Structure 1
Amino acid sequence: MREQIWNHHPDNGHTEDRDVIGYTVQATDGRIGKVDRHSVEVDASYLVVDTGPWIFGRQVLLPAGTILRIDHEERTVLVNRSKDEIKGAPEFVSEHEVPADHLSALGTYYGPMI
């Protein structure tokens, strides 16, 4: 069932016709950055978040299954992980295509969708 972490929950507000680039991303304990890019592939959907000064400009990749809700009016994405959990994830090196081994490591780290 590890694929669930890579798919949007049916009622989290995700729609394929709405772009979330630039939306603010909120962890359970505060803001972590803005959506830099995203993937909407089946079994491989994710957000790439630019954390800015929070963790020294590092980008993080968040599986779609971590998204609790997308608020299009407020341009906000709420995720069900804490800042420390996100900061402790395997390091993401920004590339156009994300290597399969990195997706696998992140799927293991974040675990099944809650």
Structure 2
Amino acid sequence: MSIDGIWSYPPQAAYAEGMDLTGFTVVADDGTVGHVDREAGHFAMRHLVVDTGVWVFGRSVLVPVGVVARIEAGERRITVSCSRAEIKAAPRFSTDSETMDPEYLTRVGEYYHGLPPREEATA
């Protein structure tokens, strides 16, 4: 995947334009990450802001939509193609203004783009 591809839903994700993912549960290959607080796409860098609850000390994380492996609308569930540890190690998200900071978003994109590819888990 190109670095620009990290900001677009992959075809196998089953994303339909206009789909509201707010409240969907986000699941990594090793457990639940949290729930989608909102989706944003400033500077053509589409991403999800995920509320992790108490898992990461009550903070949110920013996840580029290119790591979405599958959306199950009926289950209100999003599976991502990375681990919880990889998400936790991503550049720290601390304020909503960061979704408007192209330098921060670039760092996040480079981090996720650099992760080793994974084979999608079978359900």
TM-score, L = length of structure 1: 0.91
Checking the alignment, whether the CA contact within 8 Å between 1:90 and 1:105 is kept in structure 2 is: yes
Cross-structure match for 1:100: 102
Q: Is the 8 A contact 1:7 1:42 kept in 2?
A: no
Query: What CA distance in whole angstroms lies between the structure 2 residues aligned with 1:40 and 1:102?
Result: 13
* RMSD of aligned Cα (Å): 1.8
Partner of 1:46: 47
**What displacement does 1:98 show?**
2.7
What does residue 25 of structure 1 align with? 26
Is the contact between residue 46 and residue 61 of structure 1 (CA under 8 Å) also seen in structure 2?
Answer: yes
Amino acid at match of 1:75: R
State, as a whole percentage, how many aligned pairs show the same letter.
39
SS at match of 2:20: coil
TM-superposed deviation, 1:108: 1.1
CA distances 1:30-87 after superposition (whole Å, capped 9, x unpaired): 0010000002568411100000000111100000100000100000000001010000
**Residue in 1 aligned with 2:84?**
83
Of Structure 1 and Structure 2, the greater helix share is in: 2
- In structure 1, distance between residues paired with 2:82 and 2:95: 21
Take 1:13 and 1:46, find their aligned partners in 2: how far apart are those partners? 16
Structure 2: 5+ residue runs without aligned partners?
Answer: 118-123
Gaps of 5+ in 1: none
Q: How many residues align?
A: 114
Higher strand content, 1 or 2: 1
Give how far 1:13 is off: 1.4
